[in-house]
Chains A and B, each alone.
Chain A
Amino acid sequence: MTPRSSRTSRTAGHLLGIDRVACDGRGLCAELLPELVELDEWGYPVIHDARVPAELLTHARRAVAACPVLALRLDRARA
């Protein structure tokens, strides 16, 4: 697991969340958002830091929309 390079630019804006019951581990999110999502050995997402940097917000939105079981979501971070 390599540290992500974009960590410095993370803002308090959005958090990536997963409904772990709904998620069936196909890993589409890791394909669309490799900067934030890795997969474990069974194909389930690992998110080391849920904060979404501003420059990845569009990609994150795309991944959320692409999740086939609506398990991925973007939450507004609380101040």
Chain B
Amino acid sequence: MNQPHPDTLPAALTRAVPVSTLPVHAGPDGPYGSRLLHGWFATGGPAGLAEHLGRYGQAPLPDGKRPSMPLIHAVEEAGLTGRGGAAFPTGRKLRSVAERRGPAVVVVNGMESEPASQKDESLLHLAPHLVLDGSALAAAAVGAAAVHLCLPRSRADQVRALLAAVEERGRAGIDRLPVQVHVLPHHYVSSEETSLVRWLNGGEARPMATPPRPFEKGVDGRPTLVDNVETLAHLALIARYGPAWFRSAGRPDAPGTTLVTVSGAVRSPGVHEIPLGTPVGAVLELSGGPSWPLAAVLVGGFFGSWLPADQAVRVPFSKAELAAAGAGPGAGVLVALPHGACGLTETARVLDYLAAQSARQCGPCRFGLPAVAEDFRLLAGGRPDGGLMDRLRRRVGLLPGRGACRHPDGASRLAATALATFADDVRHHERLGPCPGATGRPVIPVPGGPGPEQEGWR
């Protein structure tokens, strides 16, 4: 690709919406608005330390062991939100950890348990040093005495690459704190923040009841910041180029770029970096556009929401506008469901998986989830009667807010939005039973293989 070097393009030339009066530094805006994936557009491969330093320079680490308020201010001003699922304001999280007494701990969440997501894997592969810079900067911001990077056991190559990257940084002497790399069991809930804390404290990677939340009492009893790898990579750029630069992409209420993973009925599935607020339809176009007329889009992931395709394509990808449509950004997942595929069968398969992934600690999740999954299987595969539908709706309604973690909430959301979006299919099943789509090839990538009951939690 023969692109002008993106560092030479002033941000103001490539962006339309100046929203802050702060000085705008020229940041790494690459082709198609890429920031985190800029290096990939430049070279087509992973960026080693030398290339990384050549592109971005050293991370501007603040001095001293005390929390660094200017950096926290910058993140607040930038309006960065977490990219791990909940889209919580990162600056507020940094602040609540920094304001607690004593040295803190930073946990970097690289687990990516969402099966329909590949963005964290891609980011760690292509730009590991952005994530490690962000980790070091977050540690400095909150006054941390330890940094732990959590990676899934199922990705051995990634673990090797990150260990090598950490070692290279150690030799170059660019980190104040060595990043400790940990390898955890890869289950859907083993990546939840309290699971990470519990595992790092020597226990099983299963969620814990809160309070206390990790920011109050986490690893070694210390105030603990848990952040997603992509969140920290954005932080690394905000620290260098400032909040105004960050806000020069995206929209005032949804600033910056975000990574998305697009799969299903699109011509070239994959990971993209988009300005927040990009309409879902335009994101699908980045993936080559629909390969078949679409019926619906799953937005967010296995914890996400089904939206009818005609509605989904118009919705801007931002927390507020997705919420207004009954969805959320989740882990940045979009799965395009083609006409002819069965949304009920797809949902039943995902619910089965989520039920098997329960940590089986809380009654409502342990019993409620398998019951909902079973009801959904009966609905998808047969001719449900009014009794089944009433029971299913009641059980779905009783899942949210009744687990130690939000696993049942996510599953409930998936089930409820499926019932709404595929209401015509439900009626069809009630009158005539399933259509041929129910036995077609699956669209959503639901992992098979052994689950937590076989593999364990330690």
Contact = CB atoms under 8 A, between A and B. Distances in A.
Nearest to B399: A40
Interface of A: 19-25, 40, 42-44, 46
B403 A20 contact: yes
Interface stretch (B18-26, B70-78, B107-115, B360-368): B360-368
Contacts of A24: 363
Interface core residue of A19, A21, A22 (most chain B CB under 10 Å)? A21
B404 A20 contact: yes
Given A19-B404, A21-B404, A44 B367 contact: yes
Contacts, number: 36
A21 B364 contact: no
A72 to B, nearest CB: 12
B452 to A, nearest CB: 16
Contacts of A46: 398, 402
Main secondary structure of the interface of B (DSSP, over half): loop
Contacts of A44: 363-364, 367, 402
Contacts of B274: none
B361 A21 contact: yes
Interface of B: 208-209, 361-365, 367-368, 398, 402-404
Q: Considering the complex of A and B, which 3 residue pairs feature the smallest CB-CB distances, nearest first?
A: A44-B363, A20-B362, A42-B367
B402 A20 contact: yes
B398 A23 contact: no
A44 B361 CA distance: 12
A23 B362 contact: yes
A25 B363 contact: yes
Nearest to A50: B401
Contacts of B365: 20
B209 A40 contact: no
B209 A22 contact: yes
Given A42-B363, A44-B367, A21 B398 contact: no
A23 B365 CA distance: 12
Interface core residue of A22, A44, A46 (most chain B CB under 10 Å)? A44
A54 to B, nearest CB: 24
B208 A21 contact: yes
6 contacts: A19-B209, A20-B209, A20-B361, A21-B404, A22-B209, A42-B364
